[in-house]
Amino acid sequence: MNIEAGSEKKQVYFKNLKFYIHTFGCQMNENDSERIGGILAQEGAQKSNSLENSNLIIVNTCAVRQKSEEKLFSFLGRLTRIKKRKNLIIGIVGCVAQLHRAQLLEKNSGVDFVLGPDNYSDLNQVILKHFGEKFMATRWSREWKEIPSEHILRKSDISAFVTIMEGCNNFCSYCIVPFTRGREKFRPFSNIIKEVRDLADNGYKEIQFLGQNVNSYGDASSGKDFSALLREVNSIPGIEWIRFITSHPTNFTQDIALAMKEGEKICPQLHLPLQSGSSSVLRRMNRGYTRDEYLEKIKLLRDLMPGISLSTDIIVGFPGETEKEFQDTLKILEEVRYTNIFSFRYSPRPLTAASRMRDDVPFEVKKRRLIEVQELQKSIQLEKNESMVGRVIKVLCLGKSKKNPQVFSGRNEGFQVVNFKSPKDLTGEFAPVLITSCGPHSLQGEKANNY
């Protein structure tokens, strides 16, 4: 197939195209899927809510951990079986597409095209010109490729992702991101501000800045850094809550902390990945800071914002991790007492420096250590949540709970899930909620009266 751009055939083709996007991975992947959906919808394609009712399926992939890749290949088997029953285009995009581009085409007969993270703007042309043949586009560009905010097919009309940068220059020894997302490049400051203003004009209440390392942001033309961006966006009317993810501790500066404290719209909540509580493991990870330096940043944040909600990432079983080094991680969890953590067993990723190290921590030891981390954190979270029972907190209602349609669900400033009862639908509104009970992973309550 080769349909000329601008032709009537092109319009008819896209009008008959029903697409489904399946997303693995983090918020960056979710936002990429929103942008991909917008690219297709701009040409007239229709979003489908099921695999069976689609004739274009795009799988947006994550390569950060081996388990994510395993899920992808299992899902591809399911898609191949569907393709045997109907005419179907299958495309693989994202980080695994960048990492295993040739393998995906050669070893998966059902896959029609592969696009890396820097090639989404080519999507429509790939579909029009290369259907019926295997096609791959995974080239990098040093220039920022802007996708207009009005072309993004957002899942929510309350809270929006806003990408400000992509890539990473830190080269942590275990991390594949520099090889799948490339070197750091930054979105123009003016484009970010325009998107936030557009979102405010369209009634959005919350934004979340995204990037592999948001606090390394720097605008080439104006010289403005991430703290300047936070201050500027804080002054935009309409948006009421501002968040950001992810921050690298090495690049997290005092000025960023001050911008958080000074900005009344900037939520007192931060995800600051630790990875390990041992300075020797951090050195092998090439993280660029010690245990004590990390704790100094935590102290700075809590001195400025005593009630700040902190979350982190933890990896157990990194090459060479001794029992004493692992105990250092447990100790720092006890000391910092995070609101939430994301914890994982180490798995070697191709191309990384750690993949050349001996993966010498036995699987059973990794498994036991992960359980210990998660059980400790579960008890910390339960204790912290129990201390909130009886308090009235501000919650942004995001809609009805998926588990119980009689209950509404939202998040507080600390990014905790809050499920609550209300006599009327408060979706899209801020609500005062009296916390009546809790578990380790969420808070329960009811709309408070007289607030």
Q: For residue range 431-445, list pLDDT tens digits in order.
A: 999 999 999 999 999
Structural domain contains residue 373:
no
DSSP H or E segment with residue 70: helix 66-83
Show the DSSP H helices in 216-338 as ranges: 226-234, 254-262, 279-285, 291-304, 323-336
Last residue of a domain, one of 137, 163, 185: 137
pLDDT (0 to 100) of residue 212: 95
Give the structural domain span for 119.
Answer: 8-137
The pLDDT assigned to 424 comes to 92
Average pLDDT of the segment spanning 295-299 = 98
At residue 78, the pLDDT reads: 86
User: Hey, which residues does 163 pair with through a beta bridge?
Assistant: 210
Percent of the chain with pLDDT over 90: 76
Q: Is the dihedral of CA 125, 130, 131, 137 positive or negative?
A: negative
Please write the tens of the pLDDT for every residue from 38-78.
Answer: 999 998 999 998 888 999 999 999 988 888 888 888 888 88
Structure tokens given for 181: 């997302």
Q: Given this model, what pLDDT does residue 52 score?
A: 87
In a domain, 106, yes or no: yes
Paired tokens of 355:
């993949």
What whole-number distance in Å separates Cα of residue 429 and Cα of residue 399?
10
CATH code of the domain containing 48: 3.40.50.12160
Last residue of a domain, one of 137, 167, 196: 137
74 part of a folded domain: yes
**Is the pLDDT reported for residue 451 higher than 70?**
no
Q: How many domains, in total, are found in the chain? A: 2
Averaged pLDDT for residues 299-319: 98
Render 198-224 in DSSP notation, one character per residue.
Answer: HHHHTT--EEEEE-TTGGG-B-TTT--
362 lies in a domain?
Answer: no
**Ranges 1-10, 39-48, 276-285, most confident:** 276-285
- Are 96 and 73 in contact by the 8 Å Cβ rule? The answer is no
Confidence check: pLDDT of 2 > 60: no
Reading the block at residue 290, the tokens are: 């010690």
167-225 pLDDT tens trace: 999 999 999 999 999 999 999 999 999 999 999 999 999 999 999 999 999 999 999 99
| Per-residue model confidence (pLDDT) at position 130 | 64
Encoded tokens for 91: 């495309």
User: pLDDT tens-digit profile of 120-134?
Assistant: 988 888 888 766 678
What's the mean pLDDT when you consider all of the chain?
Answer: 93
Q: How far is CA 405 from CA 82, 401, 432, 444, in A?
A: 32, 5, 20, 14
Residue 422 domain flag: yes
Beta bridge partners of 108: none
pLDDT of residue 71: 87
Here the CATH number for the domain that contains residue 428 is 2.40.50.140
Residue 182 belongs to a domain: no
Per-residue pLDDT at 131:
61
Quick one: which of 168, 172, 175, 182 has its CA closest to 288? 172
Q: Is the distance from CB of 317 to CB of 345 less than 8 angstroms?
A: yes
Return the amino acid letter for 106: E
Nearest CA to 209 out of 155, 253, 246 is that of 246
Q: How many whole angstroms separate alpha carbon 266 and alpha carbon 242?
A: 5
Return the ∠ at Cα 300 (arms to 334 and 305), rounded to 5°. Answer: 85
pLDDT score of 377 = 98
Q: How far is CA 106 from CA 124, 127, 252, 349, 446, in A?
A: 22, 19, 42, 21, 55
Q: Which of 137, 169, 194 is the C-terminal boundary of a domain?
A: 137
Rounded distance between C-alpha atoms, residue 395 and residue 387, angstroms: 17
Question: What pLDDT score does 236 carry?
Answer: 97
Q: How do residues 80-139 score in pLDDT, each as one tens digit?
A: 888 888 888 899 999 999 999 888 888 777 888 999 999 998 888 888 876 667 888 888
Check whether 5 has a pLDDT greater than 60. no
Residue 183 belongs to a domain: no
β-partners of residue 312 are 341
Assess if residue 421 is contained within a domain.
Answer: yes
User: If you write DSSP's letter for every residue of 396-443 in order, what string do you get?
Assistant: EEEEE-SS-TTSEEEEETT--EEEEE-SS--TTSEEEEEEEEE-SS-E
Q: Kindly state the helix (H) or strand (E) to which residue 189 belongs, with its residue range.
A: helix 189-201
